[in-house]
């Protein structure tokens, strides 16, 4: 009989608790492993980053796969990149225009560094010039080529998938959209199909970029980074895929925000992860992501690219064949955004620019054009998301309660049921004692039992613990059903709103439990991801936070610090780097979930070993 093992586990806040492991010692293999035998995987919506924990930089590839049609004449299916639901509603144009008015007002209201007001530039000033521009032919051959599919490969991954000729018989799938598995009703949209795509992409990248044969993965372990607001069922399936299908010997699952603090060397920070498809905000303190502070905004860098294209069209964008359904044009728009957009109020007036187009089977073209305020307006849409023109979509996602898992008998639903029984027992005891004791004692005992139950399972409505309290003040005790319904309605309305980036940060910090924690977060706002890599973004965000933070904190917070490049690192790589740091820590040895343990105990191992509250 294996002896049981006790482990100190860090939980929410600063509390430590002793947990008794149910895993036999024969399965607990805590031997040290060399870091070069640990693979760190950070799957993003657009880019997959992976590498050995000892690598200086990870390999990064487009997180996309092209799958050959199974039957000739099959209709082609292609997941969209810059296009999304909610853009072509009747209200979209009006909403976009209203958002742009707010952007223009914000630009005008903020003075330049010399104290003068910025003079707005009308798109009409650039349109007449841009419309008469014609491209210059640089070369009759662009040098770019379509991916060779003459051997009819079953699948193509990464950049090869992006350069598949649209006339070839391939479907294009992006398995992760807005940070979550891309499940939909179309071809390749089932959970099984998405997991199969991920397995192929990751296996291909491991073989090609890390030069690790798949048969040798049994000697390797994996660290997987997951979003802060995660789907338990999806995480379980990913762990099962990595251990049982890909064949890794062990795995650690950890949250992106916590890994970002490891990668930047900060102990506590408000993490703002602006990705291509989504923006997540949460507060991390001493290696713990506070559940109440987690927000996910359903917009990111690709929405800025699409908005920039709309603004350039208003200014007479000379490349008139540009299509948002064309993958190569999407790449071009991303490049133009990264090259020209900025958040510097001092750059004003019309400026001349040029760009090249090099598409397969086409000549290399050089375009010249003029732009004014469009370069500043597009990234400011992150602070005024109405400018994106997205209607009828959930734009703010909060941490919802899990639906439960039949393989995990001690989940939060079990705790809730146990709490109810304890409350009933306490109430029955109080009723019996009230027959012989003063009435006041009954209320006192009920209050105690309520306190006990809250410690066991804090109240929550569709969210993480006390998330509703964080947003909606008030006492539920008098009208519990009405309060329950009103809170659900308020949460639904909150999730329908498109919060600006600065307001999301303020909301997240405001949900921290204490004023001391809030002050700590205001003084350390860490921006990671590639969606806010604009010139002067750090100063711009800092100015907006300072102007909008509560006056009570403005007096006591010594300095609001926004960090965009900790240690001069690329902000896109910080979370991955944190995963590599995690692999090298001695304290992580007890967090590994091994293949044999997963086979025997399944998802219970995540509750047992996860470094966060599962």
For residue 25, pLDDT over 80 is answered with no
**Distance of CA 453 to CAs 414, 428, 460, 474, Å?**
13, 15, 13, 20
C-alpha neighbours within 13 Å on the C-beta side of residue 503: 12
pLDDT digits (tens, 9 = 90+) for 228-269: 999 999 999 999 999 999 999 999 999 999 999 999 999 999
Which residue, chain included where needed, has tokens 């020209």? Answer: 340
State residue 478's pLDDT score.
39
| Beta carbons within 10 angstroms of residue 426's beta carbon | 17
Bridge partner residues of 357 (DSSP): 365
Query: Are 592 and 611 a contacting pair, CB within 8 Å?
Result: no
What is the rounded average pLDDT of the residues 285-311? 96
pLDDT (mean) for 516-522: 95
Q: Does the pLDDT value for residue 384 go beyond 80?
A: yes
Rounded average pLDDT over 531-536: 97
> What is the per-residue pLDDT for 402?
72
Largest Cα separation within the chain, whole Å, is 100
Q: Is the pLDDT of residue 17 over 50?
A: no
Residue 569 has a pLDDT of 95
Tens-digit pLDDT profile for residues 287-299: 999 999 999 999 9
Residue-wise pLDDT tens digits, 447-485 = 433 333 333 333 333 333 333 334 433 333 334 445 555
Q: How far apart are CA 388 and CA 382, in angstroms?
A: 9
For residue 226, which of 582, 598, 585 has the smallest C-alpha distance? 582
pLDDT at 316: 97
**Whether residue 379 has pLDDT greater than 70:** yes
**Both tokens assigned to 419:** 């709490």
**Residue spans of beta strands (DSSP E) within 329-441:** 351-357, 364-371, 396-397
Mean pLDDT of the chain: 86
Residue 335 tokens read as: 């490049």
Chain centre to alpha carbon of residue 263: 17
Per 3-state DSSP, what percentage of the chain is helix, strand, and coil (rounded to 5)? 40, 15, 40
Q: How confident is the model at residue 277 (pLDDT cuts 50, 70, 90)?
A: very high
pLDDT for 227 equals 97
- Strand order across the beta sheet in which 65-68 lies: 155-157, 65-68, 170-173
Residue 79 pLDDT more than 50?
A: yes
Q: Is the pLDDT of residue 102 over 60?
A: yes
**How many helices and strands, by DSSP H and E, does the chain display?**
20, 23
Among the listed residues 359, 314, 350, 351, the one whose alpha carbon sits nearest the alpha carbon of residue 332: 359
Report CA-CA distances (Å) from 389 to 234, 341, 394, 447: 30, 19, 13, 49
pLDDT of residue 174 exceeding 80, the answer is yes
Q: What is the pLDDT of residue 52?
A: 97
Q: Is there a contact between 375 and 341 (Cβ–Cβ < 8 Å)?
A: yes
Question: What confidence category does residue 434 fall into, taking pLDDT thresholds of 50, 70 and 90?
Answer: low
What are the angstrom distances between the C-alpha of 274 and each of 279, 337, 341, 527, 530? 4, 15, 16, 7, 6
Please tell me the distance from the alpha carbon of residue 575 to that of residue 225, in angstroms, as a whole number: 8
Position 494 scores a pLDDT of 75
**224 has a pLDDT exceeding 80:** yes
Q: How many Cβ atoms sit within 10 Å of the Cβ of residue 179?
A: 26
Q: Tell me how crowded residue 73 is: count the other CB atoms within 10 A of its CB.
A: 6
Look at residue 612 and tell me whether its pLDDT is greater than 70: yes
Domain 92-149+301-394 annotated CATH 3.90.640.10: yes
Q: Which of 173, 147, 149 is nearest to 160 (CA)?
A: 147
User: What backbone torsions phi and psi does residue 397 show, to the nearest 5 degrees?
Assistant: -110, 135
**What band does 547 get if pLDDT is binned at 50, 70 and 90?**
very high
Distance CA(266)–CA(161), nearest Å, equals: 38
Which tens digits make up the pLDDT trace of 46-62? 999 999 999 999 999 99
State yes or no: pLDDT of 273 exceeds 90.
Answer: yes
Taking only the tens place, the pLDDT of each residue in 139-149 is 999 999 999 99
Joined tokens for residue 357: 């187009």
**What is the pLDDT at residue 557?**
86
Contact 170, 68 (CB under 8 A): yes
Quickly list H helices, 435-514. Answer: 439-456, 467-471, 480-496, 501-510
């Amino acid at each position: 009989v294996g002896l049981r093992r006790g482990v100190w586990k860090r939980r929410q806040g600063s509390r430590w608790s002793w947990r008794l492991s149910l895993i036999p010692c024969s399965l607990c293999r805590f031997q040290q492993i060399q870091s070069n035998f640990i693979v760190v995987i950070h799957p993003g919506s657009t880019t997959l980053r992976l590498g050995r924990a000892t690598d200086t930089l990870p390999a990064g590839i487009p997180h996309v796969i092209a799958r050959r049609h199974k039957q000739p004449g099959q209709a082609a299916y292609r997941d969209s990149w810059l296009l999304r639901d909610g853009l072509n509603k009747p209200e979209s144009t009006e909403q976009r225009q209203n958002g742009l008015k707010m952007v223009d007002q914000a630009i005008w209201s903020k003075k330049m560094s010399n104290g003068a007001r910025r003079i707005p530039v009308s798109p009409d000033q650039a349109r007449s010039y841009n419309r008469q521009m014609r491209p210059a032919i640089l070369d009759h051959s662009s040098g770019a080529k379509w991916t060779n599919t003459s051997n009819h490969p079953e699948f193509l991954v990464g950049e090869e998938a992006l350069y598949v000729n649209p006339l070839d018989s391939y479907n294009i799938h992006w398995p992760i959209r807005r940070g979550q598995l891309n499940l939909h009703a179309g071809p390749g949209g089932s959970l099984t199909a998405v997991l199969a795509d991920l397995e192929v992409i990751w296996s291909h990248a491991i073989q090609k970029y890390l030069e690790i044969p798949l048969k040798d993965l049994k000697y390797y372990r994996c660290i997987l980074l997951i979003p802060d607001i995660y789907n338990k069922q999806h995480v379980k399936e990913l762990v099962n895929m990595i251990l049982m299908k890909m064949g890794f010997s062990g795995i650690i699952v950890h949250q992106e925000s916590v890994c970002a603090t490891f990668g930047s060397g900060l102990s506590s920070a408000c993490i703002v992860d602006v990705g291509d498809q989504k923006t997540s905000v949460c507060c991390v303190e001493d290696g713990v992501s506070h559940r109440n502070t987690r927000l996910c905004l359903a917009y990111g860098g690709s929405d800025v690219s699409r908005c920039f294209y709309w603004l350039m069209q208003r200014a007479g964008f000379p490349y008139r064949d540009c299509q948002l359904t064309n993958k190569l044009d999407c790449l071009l728009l991303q490049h133009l955004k990264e090259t020209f957009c900025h958040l510097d109020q001092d750059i004003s007036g019309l400026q001349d620019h040029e760009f090249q187009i090099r598409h397969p089977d086409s000549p290399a073209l050089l375009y010249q054009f003029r732009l004014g305020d469009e370069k500043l307006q597009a990234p400011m849409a992150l602070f005024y998301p109405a400018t994106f023109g997205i209607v009828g979509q959930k734009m703010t996602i909060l941490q919802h309660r899990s639906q439960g898992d039949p393989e995990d008998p001690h989940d939060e639903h079990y705790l809730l049921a146990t709490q109810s029984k304890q409350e009933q027992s306490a109430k029955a005891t109080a009723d019996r004692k009230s027959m012989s004791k003063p009435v006041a004692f009954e209320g006192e005992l009920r209050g105690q039992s309520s306190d006990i139950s809250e410690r066991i399972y804090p109240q929550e409505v569709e969210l993480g613990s006390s998330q509703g309290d964080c947003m909606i003040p008030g006492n539920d005790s008098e009208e519990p059903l009405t309060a329950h319904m009103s809170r659900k309605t308020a949460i639904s309305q909150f999730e329908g709103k498109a919060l600006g980036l600065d307001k999301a940060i303020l909301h997240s910090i405001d949900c921290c439990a204490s004023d001391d924690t809030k002050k700590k977060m205001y003084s350390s706002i860490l921006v990671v991801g590639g969606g806010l890599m604009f010139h002067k973004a750090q100063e711009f965000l800092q100015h907006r936070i300072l102007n909008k933070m509560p006056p009570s904190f403005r007096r006591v917070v010594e300095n609001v610090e926004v960090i965009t490049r900790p240690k001069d690192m690329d902000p896109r790589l910080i979370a991955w780097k944190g995963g590599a740091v995690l692999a090298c820590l001695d304290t992580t040895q007890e967090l590994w979930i091994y293949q044999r343990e997963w086979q025997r105990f399944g998802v219970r191992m995540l509750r047992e070993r996860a470094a966060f509250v599962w």
